[in-house]
Structures are given as C-alpha cells and as structure tokens.
Structure 1
Amino acid sequence: MLISTRPALAAGAAALACALAPHAHAQDTRKVSEPVVPPSCAVLHADPATPGQDDTARIQAAIKACKPGRALHLAPRDGATGFVSGPLTLTDGVTLVVDRGATLYASTNPALFDRGAGTCGTNDQNGRGCSPLITVKGGAGSGIMGEGVIDGQGGRLIDGKTESWWQIARRAQKEKSRQNVPRLIVVDQVRDFTLYRITLRNSPNFHVTTNRVDGFTAWGVRIDTPHDARNTDGIDPGASRNITIAHSYIRTGDDNIAIKAGSGATENVSILHNHFYSGHGMSIGSETNGGVRNILVEDLDLDGTTSGLRIKSNDRRGGEVRGVVYRNVCMRDVKWPLFIDTHYEPGENGNLIPNYTGVRMEQVRSLTPGRLALGGYDDAHPLKLALRDVVVDGKPQLKTEFAQFDGAINAAGAQALDCSRRFEPFPGDEAH
C-alpha cells in the first residue's frame, strides 16, 4: 500500500550505566544520565509485630526529619515486608527509597484520603475528593527510588464498601459521573524530581502526574496495572518542561504515557528506550490548550497496546502541537498503530482549535496492520506530517482528513525497520 498522504533493562545497575548525553537531538535541555541514590538519613523497617497497621504517621515523621539531599529507606525485616499508608508529603530535597523486598501499600481506607467533603470512595460530578498517596510540592531535588514496590491496591475492596477503587471508576463511566479515587504520585511545582528503578502498580487512578515541573526524570521504572483498570495512566507530564522518561517498562489500563498541556505549555520532552505493553499507547493530549512542543520519542517498542503513536484533542481543549519527532519505533498487535485525531470525544463546539504542525515520523514499523487515522481539524488547521521509512505491514485501513503529507507510508524504496529482536517480556514475566 502506498499512501501519499535497544538495550534491555537488566537486574544490575550496570545495564543502565549509559548516559543520555550522546543523544544530541534529545529535547530535554538538561544533560541527563543514570540517577544515583542519595546518602541515607534513616532506615524505617517493616514491623513484624503489627502487620497491616497504619504506618502513615511514622513514615511522614521520618520524611520530615530527613534533611535535603538525603534519602529515607523503607526496608523489610524479619519476614515483614509491607508498609500501609494514607497520604504522604515528600519534603524539599528528600528522596524516598523503597528497598528490594519492601512494598509500600496505599491504604484502602477512603477516610484517610478524603479532602474534607466526605466523598472519597464515592462517585459524583466533581471527582476531586481524594488526596494522592504521595504528594511532592515545591522545592527541588526530591525523588522516589529503590528496587521495591509502591502498590495502590486499586483492585482491593474499599473499606466499608462492596466495590474496589477500579470498580467504582468503571461504574462512574456507565453512570456518566466521576470517581473519587486517589492518584498514586502527584508532582507539583518542583524542580528536578527523579523516579529511579521503582515499581509502581495497581494505582486506583493515574500512577504519576506532573504539573508545572521543571526537570523530571523517570529511569528504569516499571509500571504494572491490569489492562481493564480504568484511568490508570502510567506517566502523564503536564504543564511541565525538561522531561526525560527512559529505560522504563509500562503496562496499564489507559495511556502508557500521555503528554498533556491543560494549565500551561509542556515542552522539551525526551522519551527514550522504553517498552510499552497493554495500555493506550504513546499519547499527546487530550488537553493541549497550553501548547505542546519539542517532543522526541525514540527507540520505543509497543507490544499489544490499543493505540500506538497517538495525538488526540478537540476544540474544547485543543491547542498547538508542534516539533514532535517519533524515531525508531516498533509495534505489533496494535489496533491503531497511528492515530492523530482533532475530534476526540465529540461534544459541543468550542473555540480551542487543535493545530498539529511539524510532526515527523522516521523509521516507524508496525508488524501488524491495524487501522490508521491521520487527520487535521479543517482546511485552515491541517495536520502537517512528515514521513520517512514508515512501514505498516499487511493491509492497514486508512482514514485521512485535512492532512498535508511530506512523504508516504509504505513508500516505494522505504527501508523497513528490523523489529525482529526488539520485543521483550515484561520484567518478571520471563519465567512464566
């Protein structure tokens, strides 16, 4: 069809030793290399005498006692591995480290997360009734690291309820209401925040979101949540700049990564050497009204996502998206390998027009055909897309509208990217 229109993450830290500096065209303006765990300020052990107790107060007190530039460790002891907590606030410059063998569980008690209206754990028309498990606000140089796990327990029954966090979210979808459930990690107005080698799983809602952050690094992170858990995005950079997400493995129930710009511009984003599994793919939007610019997605494998490379918005939340480069991308079993939509979630007309320009795809390959949708908003706001060595195997279905192409999909002479050895099992699945 002519349409005119990696290195693996090993167990040892040595496998992540390569710096990102050699990628001269990375959009993050910082020089980003593999993070280093800061010196310890204290070690807090799981208590074998009182498993399942509320550890919120002692964890928060230990964080508060830790000085900037230091790390609080949560560690197992004498067979006890778990900590259970309500909302925590990470203070300026402090890193929380969950050691190998330890798990920080979000409590299933909605009262701990309630913002004061008594709505956490219910559905209404607002959906803002719960605090996140971990809030990071203000300051610089904080982080969450370690070989352990942070588990949101989204599939467990909410205390005093007959439903889990995920079940009330699914019911809200049917009832056209909003679920009041906690997010896992919210990073707000921070400079140089780092996620490193931590496993995040089973969040009741989004796993990680940023807002007005300058400098965010996620390196060697694993995010693991069932494919049918609603609104469980992996990492959502929003209204932020200088972002690097690298060497990470993400499978979830919604967008694996979604770059958003609802309350301000998101710019200078590098997404490098990552693997996606179940989820809605590598997304931009749907909030783009603040402007999205200077994005590089390079060396990405998408294995079984619903969408592949996706830009989505509408005229109620649209804006300019420009300077987006997708390079060296392999896909298989993806229903919508290429999905660029300016009429996402139709509704009443608005005046925030999506405008996608300067979008480029180089060495992009889908081993399975799927469906392709490539559209701009209207004649005055067309999609402007450059295509070089973009190959979709089989006989894909194509829909285009208001689109200007430089190059073609499956063009004569296109050099198809070799994806034969690219796809890896999710870490830990190798033995199954």
Structure 2
Amino acid sequence: MLVADSDPRAYDKNGHCGTVDHKGNGCRPFILFKSTDGGGITGEGVIDGQGGKPIKEHDESWWQLARRAQTEGGAQNVPRLIEIDDASHIIFHGITLRNSPGFHVTLKNARDATFWGVRVDTPANARNTDGIDPISSQNILIAHSFIRTGDDNVAIKAGAAGATRHVVLVDNHFYWGHGMSIGSETAGGVSDIQVRDLTLDGTTSGLRIKSDISRGGVVSDVHYENICMRGNRRPLDFDTRYDAHAIGNNIPVYRDIFLNHVSGETGQLVLRGYDAVHPLQFALNGVSFNNTARWLIESAKIVIGPDGVTPAPPREVALPPSLVSTDCAKNWLPFPVTDTPGV
C-alpha cells in the first residue's frame, strides 16, 4: 500500500494548500505524470489519498475542508491523487485508488491511455472526488473497472486546452457517485464517445451530459448501449442549464446522441435543450423504465427506434411500448472490496 502524506506543505504551490480561497488550485497532486511517453501503474496494490484523515497540524480532514468551502462559498485547496498532463501511452491495471482528497485521476491533453481492472473506492459524502476524468484528451479506454466515489464516477470534459475525442468505456460497474457524466466543461468539444455494458447501481444521476452558457460547446456522436440502472434519482440527465445562474455566450449543443437498450427503474428522465434554435438531438431505441418514471423534455428532437420507449415520451403517446428491454439481472455485481477503506 502507498499512503499519501497528510502535510499540506508537501503539495503546496503558492502558500494556499490546505486552505479555502477563491481559486482552489494551490496544491500539486500526490502523483504526477508530466510530458511522459509511456508509463503507468500496474499491480494489485492500493494507493490511499487519506482524504478522511486529519490534515497535519489541522483540526479537519481534506474532505471536511472541501465541505467547509462549500458552506463558505469558496474553493478548497486540496491535492488530487493522480494527474496525467501532456502524456501519452499510459496504462493503469489492477490498481485500487481510494480516499483521494480531490479528484482521483485527471487526464489533461493525454493521448492513448488505458484503465483496465481499476477500482476507485471513496465514500459517497467525500465532496469533489471524481473517479476518472479525461479532459481535452484522445484515445482513452476505461474497461472492466469498478468505481464508487463522492462525485462523478467518470466525467469526460473539454475546456480551453482542446477537444476530447475517441473515448471508450466497456464493461464497467458504477456504484454510489454522480454517474456517467460528460461535462460540465464542454467548450472544447466532445465527440466520438462509446459507453457499452455499464451498470449504474445507486448513482444519483445515471447517464448525464451537463453544461451551461458559461462553459458550453458541441457534444456529438455519443453512443450508449446495453446500460443497466437502478436506484437513480435522474437515470437520464441531459441538461444544458447545469448552472441556472451562469453567464456567457457558449451555448451547449448536444446532437447525435444514441441510447440503445437502456433499462432502469423510476426517477426523472431529463432531456432539456437550450432553446428551439439549439435543441437536443437524440435517438432512443429499446429504452425502458417503470411507468412511474417521469419525462422532463424541453427543446428536444427525439427519434424513436423500432424497439420503442417506455414510458412513452410526451407527444409520443401513440407509440407502442418498448418491445425489447435489457436483461439486467445477470449484470449486477457487488463492489469487489479487498479491505475496508479508511474514512
């Protein structure tokens, strides 16, 4: 096991690590891959960020600091567990990452990275502890992994550094967390995304694209297939008004989004485009939820495939119910715990 130092001075960039301010970028990560070609972390070991342990010479943990920042309206200065910046040909295999003070893994301007059989394990109440976040990166594979955390299980983003393209997720299992997300930063453009054979067991949102006019861009050519969900408040959560108070001119546009054989229980099914000029463009086929699920649809163009949708979206009441639903019973797996994570 590799355990992160709890001393803010070990990560400090500008004298602010371990404090609350208005920027929140005062800490270096525990592990950094910078401008590397090749490398990674493999094996069956554990890397523990100690997010729930007291910060050295402080009366609170990293997670308590993050929660205090939320209460005070500021930004927490906490270290991420792993950053991969301007790097290529990275492989993570078999490793368990847990209890990060902030995000577990971020990739920025990365190329050709694989995460295979990775476990991310952090409590649901640990604020801003995303699992794996590809940002302005290309050719990323996340496969056969298990993720439960206090924020987005995976969040695909694209900011000022450029577009994110060619991301594939296959045969993954998500538990508590905020779901399979794209956004909220999409200004650089996100495209060519495939998500297949995914379970979302108890995430607050399920499949999610989130952005707003302060950070929006084009999200296109996104394919979801063979998705199983249960215990979600918003199983479908595609929203262009993530921050209702956002200011800007970067209108989010979601188009060519395909949902094929997606099953869930109840909750709110949100498809909310920006306006009639910038509608969502979705194709739904074999999408099946309980009849108690409720649609919230605004400014959206929806094409229904031959396997139908249940319950029928508003204005589509004449369509038949879903003829084919995903058999999810065999897909639910318990999180593979090796020992109890520290909190």
Both proteins in one fold, TM over 0.5: yes
Q: CA offset at residue 404 of structure 1?
A: 0.4
Looking at structure 2, the residues matched to 414 and 128 of structure 1 have their Cα atoms a distance apart, in angstroms, of: 50
Looking at structure 2, the residues matched to 348 and 311 of structure 1 have their Cα atoms a distance apart, in angstroms, of: 16
Note if contact 1:390-1:414 (Cα within 8 Å) is conserved in structure 2: no
Which residue of the partner structure matches residue 231 of structure 2? 333
1:230 aligns to 2:157 (yes or no): no
Q: CA offset at residue 413 of structure 1?
A: 4.5
Q: CA offset at residue 348 of structure 1?
A: 3.9
Which residue of the partner structure matches residue 311 of structure 1? 209
Looking at structure 2, the residues matched to 312 and 334 of structure 1 have their Cα atoms a distance apart, in angstroms, of: 16
Which residue of the partner structure matches residue 60 of structure 2? 163
1:174 aligns to 2:71 (yes or no): yes
Looking at structure 1, the residues matched to 65 and 12 of structure 2 have their Cα atoms a distance apart, in angstroms, of: 16
1:129 aligns to 2:26 (yes or no): yes
Q: Which has the larger radius of gyration?
A: 1
- The TM-score normalised by the length of structure 1 is 0.74
Q: Deviations over 1:265-288 (max 9, x none)?
A: 000010000000000000000000
Is the partner of 1:217 in helix, strand or coil?
Answer: strand
Looking at structure 2, the residues matched to 391 and 193 of structure 1 have their Cα atoms a distance apart, in angstroms, of: 37
Which residue of the partner structure matches residue 345 of structure 1? 243
Which residue of the partner structure matches residue 183 of structure 1? 80
Q: Of 418, 421, 424, which aligns to 2:327?
A: 418
Which residue of the partner structure matches residue 404 of structure 1? 301
Looking at structure 2, the residues matched to 217 and 393 of structure 1 have their Cα atoms a distance apart, in angstroms, of: 36
Question: More deviation in 339-348 or 145-154?
Answer: 339-348
Which residue of the partner structure matches residue 378 of structure 1? 275
Looking at structure 2, the residues matched to 309 and 414 of structure 1 have their Cα atoms a distance apart, in angstroms, of: 21
1:302 aligns to 2:200 (yes or no): yes
Looking at structure 1, the residues matched to 294 and 228 of structure 2 have their Cα atoms a distance apart, in angstroms, of: 18
Looking at structure 1, the residues matched to 208 and 223 of structure 2 have their Cα atoms a distance apart, in angstroms, of: 12
Stretches (4+) displaced over 3 A: none
Is the partner of 2:309 in helix, strand or coil?
Answer: coil
Q: Deviations over 1:348-398 (max 9, x none)?
A: 4310010000000000000x2111111111111100000000001241121
Looking at structure 2, the residues matched to 214 and 201 of structure 1 have their Cα atoms a distance apart, in angstroms, of: 24
Amino acid at match of 1:105: V
Matches within 5 A, 1:133-144: 133-144=30-41
Calculate percent identity across the aligned residue pairs: 53
Q: Deviations over 1:1-45 (max 9, x none)?
A: xxxxxxxxxxxxxxxxxxxxxxxxxxxxxxxxxxxxxxxxxxxxx
Note if contact 1:191-1:216 (Cα within 8 Å) is conserved in structure 2: yes
Which residue of the partner structure matches residue 282 of structure 1? 180
Q: CA offset at residue 420 of structure 1?
A: 1.2
Looking at structure 2, the residues matched to 344 and 321 of structure 1 have their Cα atoms a distance apart, in angstroms, of: 15
Looking at structure 2, the residues matched to 113 and 139 of structure 1 have their Cα atoms a distance apart, in angstroms, of: 20
Amino acid at match of 2:329: S
Which residue of the partner structure matches residue 209 of structure 1? 106
Note if contact 2:44-2:95 (Cα within 8 Å) is conserved in structure 1: yes
Looking at structure 1, the residues matched to 246 and 35 of structure 2 have their Cα atoms a distance apart, in angstroms, of: 37
Looking at structure 2, the residues matched to 328 and 130 of structure 1 have their Cα atoms a distance apart, in angstroms, of: 39
Q: Of 51, 55, 64, which aligns to 1:154?
A: 51
Which residue of the partner structure matches residue 2 of structure 2? 104
Is the partner of 1:172 in helix, strand or coil?
Answer: helix
Looking at structure 2, the residues matched to 296 and 254 of structure 1 have their Cα atoms a distance apart, in angstroms, of: 21
Corresponding pairs, count: 327
| Structure 1: stretches of 5+ with no match in the other structure | 1-102
Amino acid at match of 1:266: T
Which residue of the partner structure matches residue 97 of structure 1? none
Looking at structure 1, the residues matched to 150 and 140 of structure 2 have their Cα atoms a distance apart, in angstroms, of: 23
Amino acid at match of 1:339: D
Which residue of the partner structure matches residue 313 of structure 2? none
Amino acid at match of 1:137: K
Note if contact 1:382-1:404 (Cα within 8 Å) is conserved in structure 2: yes
Matches within 5 A, 1:246-257: 246-257=143-154
Amino acid at match of 1:412: P
Note if contact 2:48-2:97 (Cα within 8 Å) is conserved in structure 1: yes
Looking at structure 2, the residues matched to 211 and 201 of structure 1 have their Cα atoms a distance apart, in angstroms, of: 21
Q: CA offset at residue 191 of structure 1?
A: 1.1
Is the partner of 2:330 in helix, strand or coil?
Answer: coil
Note if contact 1:388-1:414 (Cα within 8 Å) is conserved in structure 2: no
Looking at structure 1, the residues matched to 85 and 302 of structure 2 have their Cα atoms a distance apart, in angstroms, of: 38
Note if contact 1:299-1:329 (Cα within 8 Å) is conserved in structure 2: yes
Is the partner of 1:193 in helix, strand or coil?
Answer: strand
Amino acid at match of 2:71: K
Which residue of the partner structure matches residue 196 of structure 1? 93
1:242 aligns to 2:139 (yes or no): yes
Looking at structure 1, the residues matched to 91 and 301 of structure 2 have their Cα atoms a distance apart, in angstroms, of: 39
| Structure 2: stretches of 5+ with no match in the other structure | 311-319
Q: CA offset at residue 430 of structure 1?
A: 11
Which residue of the partner structure matches residue 314 of structure 2? none
Q: CA offset at residue 337 of structure 1?
A: 0.3
Q: Of 260, 266, 272, which aligns to 1:369?
A: 266
Looking at structure 2, the residues matched to 142 and 428 of structure 1 have their Cα atoms a distance apart, in angstroms, of: 26
Looking at structure 1, the residues matched to 338 and 176 of structure 2 have their Cα atoms a distance apart, in angstroms, of: 14
Is the partner of 1:421 in helix, strand or coil?
Answer: helix
Amino acid at match of 1:403: A
